Amino acid sequence: MVERIIILGGGIAGISAKWRNRRGLLIDENPYLTMAPRIIDVISGKSPDYPLIPRSLDYTGSVQSIDFENRKVHLRNKDINYDRLIIALGHSQDYSFIKGSKYVHGFSGYADAMALRNEMVHKKHIVIIGGGYLGVELAGAIGGNRVTVLEGGKQILGGLPSKFAKTASELLSSSGVDIELESPVEEVRKDRVITAGKSYESDLTLFAGGFTGNLPETVQDITTKNSRVAVNSYLQSLDYPDVYAAGDTMSVENGGFVPMSAIIARSSGITAMENAMGFRKQFRPSNFANIMRVGKNYFGTVGNTFVQGISARLIKEAAVALTVNRAREI
Ligand SMILES: Cc1cc2nc3c(=O)[nH]c(=O)nc-3n(C[C@H](O)[C@H](O)[C@H](O)COP(=O)(O)OP(=O)(O)OC[C@H]3O[C@@H](n4cnc5c(N)ncnc54)[C@H](O)[C@@H]3O)c2cc1C
């Protein structure tokens, strides 16, 4: 019998694992689950508490390192043994490769949203580097400022069906956001951003990309890809069969592109737990519903159907509510 399943990270993937098997022991450094899809709401004026969901933990502490040979997790003041381990430590962001990175503000979570909310009121022109999902939602949320999105590719929201880019471009343009395509950034300076052909004045430059996994640097003895644990289709580490990974911190070998999303985090957390319990379930990534927003406008796909307006908003809110309820249940 498997005695002890330890879950590292009580975000969306981690609480889904715990929800599937309440005997798993959940560890996180934060007393709250941060519901990332609600972080954007904080920028556009909702209460700072809105994304923070209280949930129970078995241990509170920051993971410092993991001894895979001896099956031991080191927290700052405590060591915890495991029989099976699920790593669900979320994502981090790297923009050190940008020339002038010291003038760039990252955007990867709640603290960045709070900082932006306070700072943006004093800014004349905000430049967002990256026209992906996050860059577009950010641009839509920053009201009352001049905003430019610099996208290196031929269209924003590359990788999503073209209807996403068309809808987002129309909504952003109608709210006064400038979108510059094929504009890879060459350098960021204190007061400007320079691309191959142009220079943009900027008193706040945000980077909405460069996401990596979030394994502590001390965790070296395991195969990783971009700081994510490399796993097989059973979400099992390529090196240690008793170690699993889920959510933003997993990289599925030969699994094609797996987006960082709440649906993927939820389903992978459940699959990782089922396999840690002794089942043998393959992870089949499906981002069945993909709803985004620009300002107050919601749109996206459910299966192959494009939805927009109130129905899209309700689908998104229902998906978020499902996770919030599970966090409260565990
Ligand atoms: C601003 C923003 C908006 C987003 N909006 C959407 C959206 O609208 N729809 C969508 O589908 N996806 C969205 N995403 C992506 C989605 O939220 C993530 O893919 C999902 O949260 C990943 O879940 P996770 O459990 O892997 O990581 P997380 O939910 O980030 O959880 C990681 C957990 O690990 C804990 N942790 C980290 N390091 C340590 C440590 N050393 N010790 C202890 N605990 C630690 C953290 O405290 C955290 O609780 C958004 C992401 C961002 C950043």
Query: Terminal CA-to-CA distance of the chain, rounded, Å?
Result: 23
Other beta carbons within 10 Å of 121: 8
Ligand 1 geometric centre to CA of 201 (Å): 32
Instruction: Answer positive or negative: Cα dihedral of 135, 187, 117, 108.
Output: positive
Residue 160 CB less than 6 A away from ligand 1:
no
- Look over the chain and give the mean of its residue pLDDT values, rounded to a whole number: 95
40 Cα nearest atom in ligand 1: 1
> Of 108, 176, 172, 107, which is closest to residue 140 (Cα–Cα)?
172
| Domains identified in the chain and CATH numbers | 5-93+211-287 (3.50.50.60), 101-207 (3.50.50.60)
C-alpha span between 163 and 147 (Å, rounded): 22
**What DSSP letter does each residue of 183-228 carry, written as one string?**
--EEEE-SSEEEESS-EEE-SEEEE---EEE---TT--SS-EETTE
Residues counted in the chain: 330
Residue 51 CB less than 6 A away from ligand 1:
no
C-alpha span between 48 and 126 (Å, rounded): 22
pLDDT tens-digit map of 96-122: 999 999 999 999 999 999 999 999 988
Ligand 1 geometric centre to CA of 36 (Å): 6
Which pLDDT band holds residue 256 (cuts at 50, 70, 90)?
Answer: confident
C-alpha span between 56 and 47 (Å, rounded): 22
Q: Which amino acid, one-letter code, is at 295? A: G
Residue 319 CB less than 6 A away from ligand 1:
no
pLDDT tens-digit map of 158-180: 989 999 999 999 999 999 999 99
Residues paired with 302 in a beta bridge = 289, 305
> Of 268, 271, 267, 262, which is closest to residue 290 (Cα–Cα)?
262
Minimal-distance CA residue to ligand 1 atom 47 = 30
C-alpha span between 304 and 286 (Å, rounded): 12
Residue 265 CB less than 6 A away from ligand 1:
yes
Half-sphere exposure for 177 (CA within 13 Å, toward CB): 29
pLDDT tens-digit map of 82-96: 999 999 999 999 999
Residues 6+ apart with CB under 8 A from 251: 213, 224, 225, 226, 228, 229, 230, 231, 245, 258
Ligand 1 geometric centre to CA of 248 (Å): 7
Residue 1 pLDDT more than 70? no
Residues 6+ apart with CB under 8 A from 45: none
287 Cα nearest atom in ligand 1: 11
Minimal-distance CA residue to ligand 1 atom 48 = 11
Ligand 1 geometric centre to CA of 137 (Å): 16
User: Can you tell me which residue has the tokens 């220079």?
Assistant: 199
Residue 214 CB less than 6 A away from ligand 1:
yes
Ligand 1 geometric centre to CA of 304 (Å): 26
